[in-house]
Amino acid sequence: RLAAFARRQLPAHVTVAAVANFADGSTDVQRAVRDTGTIVDSGAQEVDVVLPYAALRQGDAASVSTLLGAVRKACPELLLKFILETGELKDDRLIERACRLALDAGADFLKTSTGKTSVSATPEAARLLLGAIRSDGHAAARVGFKPSGGIRTVADAASYMVLCEEF
């Protein structure tokens, strides 16, 4: 809701991002597309969208894929970060599945968390996201990684920087 204001206040070289489908990661495609349209109309350059992690936990990958694809279509020219909410997915196989769905939908970044759950970024989840990016021939050269949530110190940030260098 503040992206347009931020865009007007900031110099052109500073990018503005806003989040869609926040914070619950629902499967409501219309809501996510509406949120995304508002972000696009605001002049923001980046969209973050919360992957429907509860649906994925329940085995509903089709709804997840539909929502992610619809959001990508709603912002084809903008940088798109998919927030996987890895602390809620917990299981390595679910996190890997979320990565695959996000990459297949055209993610520009894989992001660990909204920071609104009890478990946010973890080194273990970071390794899974980085591994998924590296193992995808199309993604390896173009998709970024963003650890998010629970990173409070320089030492915390440094540990993720080391992980990125390993991959």
Handedness of CA 87, 88, 92, 95 (dihedral sign): negative
Known catalytic residue: 111? yes
Closest CA to 107 of 116, 98, 120, 94: 98
Q: Which of 24, 48, 91, 108 is catalytic?
A: 48
**Which has the closest alpha carbon to 36: 85, 69, 8?**
69
Give me the catalytic one of 108, 111, 116, 136: 111
Count CB neighbours of 155 within 10 A: 8
List, in sequence order, every beta strand (DSSP E) within the chain: 17-20, 46-50, 79-83, 109-111, 144-146
User: Residue 84 gets which letter from DSSP?
Assistant: -
Please enumerate in sequence order all residues whose Cβ is within 8 A of that of 73, keeping only pairs 6 or more positions apart, or say none: none
| Helix, strand, coil % over all residues of the chain, rounded to 5 | 50, 10, 40
Q: Which of 108, 116, 136, 146 is catalytic?
A: 146
Give the residue numbers annotated as catalytic, written as ranges. Answer: 48, 111, 146
